[in-house]
Amino acid sequence: MLSALLLIPLLGAILVGCWPGKLTSKLAKNVSVGCLLVNLAVSLYLLTQFDLTITGLQFQESLPWLETLGLGYELGLDGLSLPLVIINSLLSLVSVYASDDDTRRPRLYYCLLLMITFAVAGAFVAQNLLLFFIFYELELIPLYLLIAIWGGPQRGYAATKFLIYTAISGILILASFLGLVWLSGSSSFDYSATMGHGLPWIQQAVLLAALLIGFGIKIPLFPLHTWLPDAHVQASTPISVLLAGVLLKLGTYGLFRFGVVTFSEVWVDLAPYLAWWAVVSVLYGSLAAIAQTDMKKMVAYSSVGHMGYVLLAASASNPLSFVGTVFQMVSHGFISALLFLAVGVVYKKTGTRDLTVLRGLLNPERGLPIIGSVMVLAVMASAGIPGMVGFISEFIVYRGSFASFAPQTLLCLLGSGLTAVYFLLLVNRAFFGRLATTKNQALEQDPVLPVVTWQDRMPALVLVGLLFMFGLSPSWMTRWIEPTTTSMYEAMPIKLELSSAHLATMPLENPSTDLASCSDEDCAL
């Protein structure tokens, strides 16, 4: 089934690329949507067949490949990769569906989009370090071309900057993987969480530092983030959806999968400093977003801030914070995709994203009332309003990290307040007041915007439904995540010391046995 998950978008890309005769943009889009619908169905089937009682890998596939290099075709799925695989399938479908029907060079465009879906899915299920790296690098050139060919006026600069940063990221990650396999004496790149446990502290520190910088570029964390705003501003809306919703998660997934448990001895020692790094990234991203007048750049900087919460939760290194790490990845994927979709519709209908020009878009008769309402809901979710997925993910992160790093958690909580500030500025400037979409139209009495079709609305409305679904019933997500993250925590040979107040709230593994054997004082606690 995992091979099918990879082969469907790959075969779809080959089909689109080798389609006989003339391939119109509409036909290429329909073929791509059909392939990704099947791909999403396979992902959901894996969800239904996933056994929650198994904490390890499921649906494993193993085939020898280049044994002399230690490269094997090793695939597996667990509670960490399962939600990311599904969100990759879903947002890839959203990106293709949201693409224009008259996209130029459709054969190449949809082929590249399907290749990215294939590469990202492969990275999430790969259980061989070298195989993960291959998939990690496979998405580099397609995304570069999608920005460089279909991007904005400065697309060449943004695409080249993205290429350079991501290439450096790949070099550091590969160097760390090579060093890990060589120093551990392994003859294969097959991943094991215990590979780095017997290494000296300094060796683990060097390898972990390479992973931190490499994946920190991809996440991105301050000050390794500068490629992201340029890439988002110049990329088309579907590419921004895919970039923010899926591709950034390769960084957080890789750091969590290969950094936290494999180098847990060093991770625990560096955890306070990593938590402060998360604080800086959160506050910088939030303050930078406040200063923006371009809607898309504001949302891009908000991603820098919100991805810092993932590092904070991973640094806290306890079972609850680990759940928050994965929940925040998925939550940010939904929210950022919805924000970029809404901004894309505004730009498509008004021709500008300038907050000094836009206003009054919630006008119920001549504005964009439905898209404006969607934007308000996305802003509320990002700001952590109760009842929506953003509140649940941030609450779990804060609840899990407070016991380990109270000052850092409180400062990150300030970042949530700043999120409300800059998104309130966005909504107030663009959607309230007298309707005017350009400087020239500001002099008109009754400017009327183009009609928003259901094709523009449908992807956003689906994501709105998911925001409420997981916000009102978070157990639908945590039940898949928790067994794996708990197992990862238990596999750490050295754990971060927790406060007694936090330990008092942790459930007993075997309540009847534990309560029967504990002392009176412990039972009272």
Lookup: tokens for 40: 């999403």
CA geometry: angle 359, 282, 138, nearest 5 deg:
90
- 6-32 pLDDT, tens per residue? 999 999 999 998 888 788 888 999 999
- Close Cβ partners of 478 (under 8 Å, ≥ 6 residues apart): 323, 327, 396
The whole-number pLDDT of residue 398 equals: 92
- 245-295 pLDDT, tens per residue? 899 999 999 999 888 888 888 888 899 999 999 999 999 999 999 988 888
Q: What's the rounded Cα separation, in Å, for the pair 29 and 110?
A: 7
Q: Is the pLDDT of residue 161 over 80?
A: yes
- 453-479 pLDDT, tens per residue? 777 778 888 899 999 989 888 888 888
Q: Are 321 and 314 in contact (CB under 8 A)?
A: yes
Q: Pick the range with the lowest mean pLDDT from 22-26, 46-50, 336-340.
A: 22-26
The whole-number pLDDT of residue 512 equals: 37
The whole-number pLDDT of residue 507 equals: 45
Q: Is the pLDDT of residue 511 over 60?
A: no
Percent of the chain surpassing pLDDT 70: 89
The whole-number pLDDT of residue 317 equals: 86
The whole-number pLDDT of residue 288 equals: 92
Mean pLDDT across the chain, nearest whole number? 85
3-state secondary structure of 83: helix
Q: Is the pLDDT of residue 435 over 70?
A: no
pLDDT band for 163, please (50, 70, 90 cuts): very high
Q: What's the rounded Cα separation, in Å, for the pair 395 and 471?
A: 11
Q: Pick the range with the lowest mean pLDDT from 32-46, 174-188, 210-224, 503-517.
A: 503-517
Higher pLDDT pick, 505 / 340: 340
Q: 71-77 and 58-66: which strand pairing?
A: antiparallel
Q: What's the rounded Cα separation, in Å, for the pair 425 and 428?
A: 5
Query: DSSP string of 14-80?
Result: HHHHT-SS---HHHHHHHHHHHHHHHHHHHHHHHHH--TT--S-EEEEEEEEEGGGTEEEEEEE-TT
Q: What's the rounded Cα separation, in Å, for the pair 194 and 196?
A: 6
pLDDT band for 448, please (50, 70, 90 cuts): low
The whole-number pLDDT of residue 194 equals: 65
CA distances from 324 to 318, 392, 401, 493 (A): 10, 9, 9, 21
Q: What's the rounded Cα separation, in Å, for the pair 82 and 87?
A: 9
Higher pLDDT pick, 525 / 322: 322
Q: Is the pLDDT of residue 433 over 60?
A: yes
pLDDT band for 439, please (50, 70, 90 cuts): very low
Q: Is 66 exposed, middle or buried (0-12, 13-18, 19+ CB in 10 A)?
A: exposed
pLDDT band for 195, please (50, 70, 90 cuts): confident
3-state secondary structure of 190: strand
Q: Is the pLDDT of residue 525 over 80?
A: no
Q: What's the rounded Cα separation, in Å, for the pair 472 and 468?
A: 6
The whole-number pLDDT of residue 19 equals: 85
Higher pLDDT pick, 186 / 471: 471
Q: What's the rounded Cα separation, in Å, for the pair 520 and 525?
A: 9
Q: What's the rounded Cα separation, in Å, for the pair 333 and 86?
A: 11
The whole-number pLDDT of residue 523 equals: 38
The whole-number pLDDT of residue 460 equals: 87
The whole-number pLDDT of residue 477 equals: 87
The whole-number pLDDT of residue 356 equals: 83
The whole-number pLDDT of residue 9 equals: 93
Q: Is the pLDDT of residue 193 over 50?
A: yes
Lookup: tokens for 457: 């609305």
Q: For residues 361, 367, 369 and 370, what is the CA-based torsion angle, rounded to 10 degrees?
A: -110
Q: Is the pLDDT of residue 493 over 80?
A: no
Q: Is the pLDDT of residue 510 over 70?
A: no
pLDDT band for 43, please (50, 70, 90 cuts): very high
Q: Is the pLDDT of residue 54 over 90?
A: no
Instruction: Count Cβ atoms below 10 Å from residue 501 Cβ, excluding itself.
Output: 10
- Close Cβ partners of 309 (under 8 Å, ≥ 6 residues apart): 278, 282, 324, 328, 393, 394, 397, 412, 415
Q: Is the pLDDT of residue 144 over 90?
A: yes
Q: Is the pLDDT of residue 522 over 50?
A: no
Q: Pick the range with the lowest mean pLDDT from 98-112, 273-287, 420-434.
A: 420-434
The whole-number pLDDT of residue 449 equals: 66
The whole-number pLDDT of residue 443 equals: 36
CA geometry: angle 343, 348, 350, nearest 5 deg:
90
Q: Is the pLDDT of residue 447 over 50?
A: yes
Closest CA to 406 of 304, 268, 280, 498: 498
- 202-242 pLDDT, tens per residue? 998 999 999 999 999 999 998 998 899 999 999 998 999 99
Domain ranges of the chain: 273-490
The whole-number pLDDT of residue 301 equals: 92
